[in-house]
Amino acid sequence: MIREFTLLGLSCANCAAAIEDSVKGLQGVSNASVNFITSTLRMEIAGSFPGNSLHESVERIVHEHESEVLVFERKNRAQSEINRKNMAKIALLSAGAIILAAGTMLEQAGFGKHISLALFVFGYLMLGGKIILQAGRNIARGRVFDENFLMAAATIGAFSIGEYSEALGVMLFYQVGMYFQDLAVRKSKKDIAALMDIRPDYANLRKEGQLIRVSPESVKIGDVIIVKPGEKIPLDGVVLKGESMLDTSSLTGESVPRRVSASDIVLSGCVNQNGLLTIEVTHAFGESTASKIIDLVENAAAKKAQTENFITKFARYYTPVVVGLAALIAIIPPLLSAGLWIDWLRRGLIFLVISCPCALLISIPLGFFGGIGGASKRGILIKGGNYLEALCNLDYVVFDKTGTLTKGTFKVTAIHPANGFSAMELLEAAASAEAFSNHPIALSILREYGKDVNKDELTEFNEIAGQGVSANAGGRIITAGSKKLLADRGVTFVEPQQGGAKVYVASDNEFMGYIVVSDEMKPDSCNAIEALKALGVRKIVMMTGDDPLIAEATANELQIDEVYGGLLPAQKTEKVEALNEQKRGKLAFVGDGINDAPVLALADVGVAMGGIGSDAAIEAADVVLMSDEPSKLAEAVEIARFTRHIVWQNIAFTLGVKATFLLLGAFGAANMWEAVFADVGVAVLAILNSIRTIRQFGIAKNRNMRCGMCAPLYGAFLNNLNNLFFIL
């Protein structure tokens, strides 16, 4: 059983990881994960919990780490509670600033020393009381090295050496920085939620001749709903009546509307633009396209990139090491008579404040999730940061042909009559033989013929699996199919060398000619290959079960480097295994879903042409291209590289600033205020920089990605001044 809780106000990535570990230790909980980005705790329950005991247990654990976080069983935005907490925080910070100013003026005026001290102590307890209590609780539970401990130790140390105003000022500055950090995190989460705002709020259920507005969760399969112009389609279904244009951009990323009418399939999350649609529901809400996509993107954060895992491990060792160095700085030099205790203690305290790794722990997963959210807005579903990171280093890309580079719909491209027959006689004979067949090639011939075949004249219809058909048409035996079928019937002809699927036709064992049927190329397949090569993909390969001649012709048209035709699924797997041994980076396989499932699983990145409503593709692949356009893969690579660029900017900037201030602090050239900037100030800047992934792909929709990727580090952070106004 799955249970989910919303952790409203969760703003500490370190605490989120600690909450996850603690919840995993609950009896009856088989697995648990905290998604910091969506503030969601998801648990797999193996046992049973009476009454509200699970909620109470979760709430107790959460409050051990974050006392102000609110825990909801169901998703609840509780906007009024958020506003109340914001107003209370602003009032607290304002009061702290007034107390600091008053105490400092009294201290500098030279009178009221005890009054100023009392103000400083009162202001400090007001601003930092919860931090000190939380640090004490954490130490009692064996959790020492967190930001609460670092700030409590540094500011209490400042009090102990008589720096009262500095202790209060540092705590105030820290709280202001944390407020802006929380604001930035909340804003970024809100923007990610906006990217995935395809969840319908209600459904108009038709019941006993009346329309009732109900929750989409309460609608059952087979129910009939009405979707008015301007409304979101709440559930997947089939149009019973009506005609309209649908905005499918939230699913496919494409701005061109799609026309639907009676008998067409429609998907939840699309917006009905102009007509009134009557729809019969085919999937319950939990199985609908919108619900699956939202769940997929929200849970993508659970699959962390190698960079995220590295930073988490790095922070685990980094903080204790720096705390140890701070202790050595405060103790060793005075013992060696290298200065006064008070000076070295101050340096050690400054060292403590600088050491907090929150900037990395928050900004890096935020950057990856922003990239995933932005990609989803473009109709590219990426199932985790690990796959996003793998897309950055594609060396080989292997494409399936049918349904991937081609439309998977056949069309007559050439008619070659022989032995004195005309093209129309050849086409008419083939259409007569294929009249009762549902094979895609047969249907393409019937479409090309464009007339009704008189089926009353057809007798002795026989379909030979994998070879073709024969029928008696007005006294003539018409045979249409493969060269083997005609050879078995004793028909002689010269085999042509032209590419494409060929349907050979004979009348009473006399060869009439052949018809070439080709799979239509997707309009942007050529652009996809060119774009991937421009992005540095070393080799592009095509594998198909189609005829080798057809495969070769398609590969030549698209300028593909290597091609393999006539492959069975098992042979595709063997070929991909062989390519895996040759590659330098990552290998992606692009296929059309469940038919290519073994190869999709074998590749470093399995990419499915999801199409609209392809459940099998969504389940099988690591990346799903919802619009069925192969060029979306190149766009996914660009998004992945831009995201990686942002992440490494944050790593370089954060570690660079911290290293600089740690050295300055150790040598006595940095004060406590600068130390706080090196902590919360850097965190805010890193978060603002991460927001660029969200704005780049989800909001601004700026396609000049290479410009952003090539921007120098200092330029990127100057751009974040604009992001600061965006946050506020």
Max CA distance (Å), the chain: 122
| Residue at 47: amino acid letter | G
Q: Does residue 655 contact residue 663 with C-beta atoms inside 8 Å?
A: no
DSSP at 604 = S
Q: Residue type at 661?
A: F
| Counts for the chain of helices (H) and strands (E), in that order | 25, 26
* Dihedral sign for Cα atoms in the order 451, 454, 455, 457: negative
Which DSSP symbol is given to 233? P
Collapse the DSSP code of 32 into the 3-class scheme (helix H, G, I; strand E, B; otherwise coil) and give the result.
strand
Count CB-CB contacts under 10 A for residue 83. 10
3-class DSSP assignment, residue 4 = strand
CB 550 within 8 A of CB 520: no
DSSP lists the bridge partners of residue 517 as 412, 501
Phi and psi dihedrals of 52, rounded to 5? -100, 20
Task: Return d(Cα 616, Cα 620) in angstroms, integer.
Answer: 6
Quote the CA–CA distance of 681 and 683 in Å, as a whole number. Answer: 5
For residue 567, how many other CB atoms are within 10 A of its CB?
18
What are the tokens at 429?
Answer: 């004979």
For the CA atoms of 528, 534, 538, 541, the dihedral, rounded to the nearest 10 degrees, stands at 20
Which helix (H) or strand (E) segment holds residue 259: the answer is: strand 258-260
State how beta strands 406-417 and 510-521 pair: antiparallel
What tokens were used for 574?
């063997």
Number of neighbours of residue 388 by Cβ within 10 angstroms: 29
Among the listed residues 223, 400, 604, 622, the single catalytic one is 400
Angle at CA of residue 129, ends 123 and 132, nearest 5°: 130
SS (H, E, C) 464-509: ECCCEEEEEECCEEEEEECHHHHHHCCCCCCCCCCCCEEEEEEECC
Strands 605-609 and 586-591 come out as parallel
DSSP 145: -
Q: Is the dihedral of CA 389, 394, 400, 406 positive or negative?
A: positive
Contact residues for 313 (Cβ-Cβ < 8 A; gap 6+): none
Phi and psi at residue 593, to the nearest 5°: 105, -135
Q: Is 400 a catalytic residue?
A: yes
Provide the residue type at 671 as one letter. N
Catalytic residues: 400
